[in-house]
Amino acid sequence: MVSWVTSAFVGFARACAVVAVVMLVPAVWAAAVALGIRWGAGNPWSWVAPCVLVCVGTLALSRPVCRAVRFLVRRWTATAVPSGYRRAEPVVRMSTGFWWNGFSYGRTRRDALLDQRWRIRWKDPATWRDLRFTVIAPCTAGVVAAVPPAGIAVAVLGFGRPTPVARLAGALGLAVAVAGAPYAWRLLRPVAVRFLGPLRTMALADRVDELTAQRADTTVAQAAEIRRIERDLHDGAQARLVGLGLSLATAEKLLATDPEQARALMREARVGAAASLTELRELVKGINPPVLNERGLVDAVRAFALDSPLETTVSADPELPRLDPPIESALYFGIAELLTNAVKHARADRARISLTRDGARIVVDVEDDGRGGAAEQAGGGLAGLRRRLTVFDGTLEITSPAGGPTRVRMMVPCASL
């Protein structure tokens, strides 16, 4: 009973909020019509002024109303409705002294920004989508959300009169308001998702921009990885192999005159060869661990956890199949990055890794008991991890309050699941 009363009160408040937002533009229309009627048919402004008021009021309120609707839907239902508005390009001053805003030149930065704002506003398809929504929403979500407030109004008027018919009407209005309050506002979400989301052309354009940025990030990451491999080879194994060659050449010359010194040099060369082999194996492991190719992501993560200085537990869905090699590699190095951060920065003692399946997505959760405070920074490891996952349409969620714990979730869609 208490939960129902709470739900009714919350629903009534939300219904009133929906009515106040989506009926704002129709209220302007009604005010314009009332103004024209008040001036009378003989006044030449009785039809011109209302039309101007309707057009200006609708254009001025359409975008704020749509932003308010998106906010309410996100706040109440955790459903994000993308805006899809065109982004303004940065205004750049040219060598001639004029300012370029992406469309035309302006004598001052203020003129260029003003011209850019109006051009984007009128040429943006989202502007016309917002205008369409301000017409559709009052006729759908607005009418349904107005039922509880209208019922309360009928109840107040009915109980204020002594006649039995009026009181019966008041009782019915109160019943309708209480019964419909928890549900009257819920139509706002499907209407907003259907009519307020970005147009297909804008979504495709944003997707093209996103893929272009991903390609650039991938190219930069590949170049950096190649430079790292070259540097490791040059400073490590290559230098040892050069030293090994010199030791063998010297031992060959001393073999006839000083066999003991030659044998000592050969022993050093053997140790150097073993060290070079170890470095090459570590380098190959950093490029693509053999256990990842042979046994898959789960076993590779378990092997990495055994070598980690943290007390790490790994749990995995027993029905998790082998994934595509690029996805397995991205997730493996992502987990390695997170555990390394837990050791170096969070000063953690224990970590937990979970690999599960969620429909056509693989979900990897990494949690440590460190001091928390992990934040994504430009050029940092977490930013690189996000870019690595974005290539596969994956997402990265970071929860790291001060004092810990740090929880990171990686989700990647995979066609093989």
Statement to judge: residues 191 and 62 lie in one domain: yes
Please tell me the distance from the alpha carbon of residue 344 to that of residue 354, in angstroms, as a whole number: 21
Report the CATH number at residue 399: 3.30.565.10
**Pairing mode of beta strands 99-100, 105-106:** antiparallel
- Cβ within 8 Å of residue 349, ≥6 positions away: 310, 311, 369
Please tell me the distance from the alpha carbon of residue 75 to that of residue 14, in angstroms, as a whole number: 11
**Pairing mode of beta strands 395-399, 406-413:** antiparallel
Q: What is the pLDDT of residue 286?
A: 55
Tens digit of pLDDT for each residue in 15-28?
A: 889 989 998 888 88
Mean pLDDT of the chain: 77
Statement to judge: residues 20 and 111 lie in one domain: no
Statement to judge: residues 248 and 320 lie in one domain: no
pTM over 0.85, yes/no: no
Q: Confidence band (pLDDT; 50, 70, 90) for 180? A: confident
Q: Can you say how many angstroms the Cα of residue 247 is from the centroid of all Cα atoms in its chain?
A: 57
Domains: count for the chain: 4
Span 309-326, average pLDDT = 80
Task: Give the residue from 364, 381, 384, 376 showing the smallest Cα distance to 400.
Answer: 376
Q: What is the pLDDT of residue 31?
A: 83
Statement to judge: residues 138 and 248 lie in one domain: no
Residue 65 · residue 21 · CB < 8 Å? yes
Whether cis (ω within 30° of 0) applies to the bond prior to 405 is: yes
Burial state string for 150-188 with b = 16 or more CB within 10 A and e = fewer than 16: bbbebbeebeeeeeeeeeebbeebbebbbebbbebbbbb
Report the CATH number at residue 250: 1.20.5
Span 172-200, average pLDDT = 83
Please tell me the distance from the alpha carbon of residue 119 to that of residue 114, in angstroms, as a whole number: 9
Span 112-123, average pLDDT = 78
User: Is 103 within the bounds of a domain?
Assistant: yes
Please tell me the distance from the alpha carbon of residue 121 to that of residue 146, in angstroms, as a whole number: 31
Statement to judge: residues 333 and 409 lie in one domain: yes
pLDDT of 108 over the 70 cut: yes
Span 72-99, average pLDDT = 79
Statement to judge: residues 259 and 130 lie in one domain: no
Write out the residue range of the structural domain in which residue 94 sits: 86-123
Residue 163, φ and ψ in degrees, nearest 5: -75, 145
Statement to judge: residues 46 and 165 lie in one domain: yes
Statement to judge: residues 161 and 298 lie in one domain: no
Statement to judge: residues 281 and 364 lie in one domain: no
